[in-house]
């Protein structure tokens, strides 16, 4: 009797989503100084909000800066949107930065300009100095107004940015970041200057943008409960190393406190929120 071997049917294709950001064994040192990041791994996927926690000096800002080529990578790699950041030349880095929306603690708006103009400047990213003087199109203006509407402050479009409250200014900064049509949003302590209510609103907005637009949002925070309430995953840095990396649903404040040399007390957290 002969037996024949039938060919196997093709395996069902299992597609694992590719992370937009993939950091492996990243090491960063400034000048001759010590390693500020030492072997950091990080993936960021479309649609997720990842909270970055750690004591002051643990390397949160440096990790963010390394994703846009502003930190000196001395080992390992950081890939963003398919690019090996450490291997990019200056012009290529400019192109990458145009795809990354950034939100900062101090909003970084031009106070004397209108809210609308501040948002429009987001369209200049990557345009270069020659295109930048060409002015904005009416399509740009429509889009900027639509974004202001989305973040809830279209009624302030013609006001000078400096006349807005902190929470409103941060919304403008988020609209400006969206004007870039970013593939990634980096928010470095975006609520450190806001009161508790504004902090929740701004973080809710960032998480909504991540989910709706399918953009990964990496947000550094100093307040544990804000991270637990407004993120899908938490990455905790300690002395430049990843100590915790887990879905937020699996974490609690006790486990996250291990990230800190001195765990923040409720009082300190309240102070941080109120700052």
Residues contributing to the site for ligand ATP (CB under 6 A) = 30, 33, 36, 54, 56-62
| Min separation Cβ 230 and ligand ATP, Å | 18
Distant-in-sequence contacts of 243-251, Cβ < 8 A, 24+ apart: 244/53, 245/41, 245/42, 248/51
Q: How far apart are the first and last CA of the chain?
A: 83
Cα(191)–Cα(125) distance, integer angstroms: 24
CB of 118 or CB of 170, closer to ligand ATP: 170
How far apart CA 168 and CA 107 sit, in angstroms, is: 10
Nearer to ligand ATP, 58 or 199 (CB): 58
**Minimal distance in Å, beta carbon 62 to ligand ATP?**
3
Q: Looking at beta carbons only, is 10 or 33 nearer to ligand ATP?
A: 33
Q: 106-132 burial string, b = 16+ CB within 10 Å, else e?
A: ebebeeeebbbbbbbbbbbbeeeeeee
Q: How far is the CB of 239 from ligand ATP (least distance, A)?
A: 9
Pairing of strands 241-247, 233-238: antiparallel
Please, what is the minimum distance in Å from the beta carbon of residue 85 to ligand ATP?
16
- Nearest residue (CB) to ligand ATP, 60 versus 156: 60
């Amino acid at each position: 009797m002969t037996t024949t071997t039938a060919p196997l049917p093709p395996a069902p294709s299992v597609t694992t989503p590719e992370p937009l950001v993939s950091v492996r064994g990243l090491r960063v040192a400034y000048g001759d100084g010590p390693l500020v990041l030492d072997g950091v791994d990080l993936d960021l996927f479309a649609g997720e909000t990842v909270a970055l926690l750690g004591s002051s000096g643990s390397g949160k800002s440096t990790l963010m800066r390394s994703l846009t080529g502003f930190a000196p990578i001395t080992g390992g790699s950081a890939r963003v949107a398919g690019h090996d950041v450490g291997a990019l030349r200056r012009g290529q880095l400019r192109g990458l930065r145009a795809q990354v929306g950034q939100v900062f603690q101090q909003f970084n708006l031009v106070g004397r300009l209108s809210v609308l103009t501040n948002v429009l400047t987001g369209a200049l990213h990557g345009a270069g100095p020659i295109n930048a003087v060409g002015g904005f199109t009416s399509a740009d203006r429509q889009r900027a107004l639509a974004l202001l509407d989305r973040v809830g402050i279209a009624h302030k479009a013609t006001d000078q940015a400096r006349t807005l409250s902190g929470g409103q200014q941060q919304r403008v900064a988020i609209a400006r970041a969206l004007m870039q049509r970013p593939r990634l949003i980096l928010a470095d302590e975006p609520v450190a200057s806001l009161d508790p209510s504004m902090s929740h609103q701004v973080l809710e907005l960032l998480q909504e943008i991540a989910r709706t637009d399918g953009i990964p949002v990496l947000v550094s925070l100093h307040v544990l409960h804000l991270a637990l309430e407004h993120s899908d995953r938490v990455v905790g840095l300690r002395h430049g190393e990843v100590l915790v990396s887990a879905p937020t649903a699996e974490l609690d404040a006790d486990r996250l406190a291990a990230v800190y040399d001195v765990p923040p007390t409720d009082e300190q957290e309240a102070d941080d929120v109120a700052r």
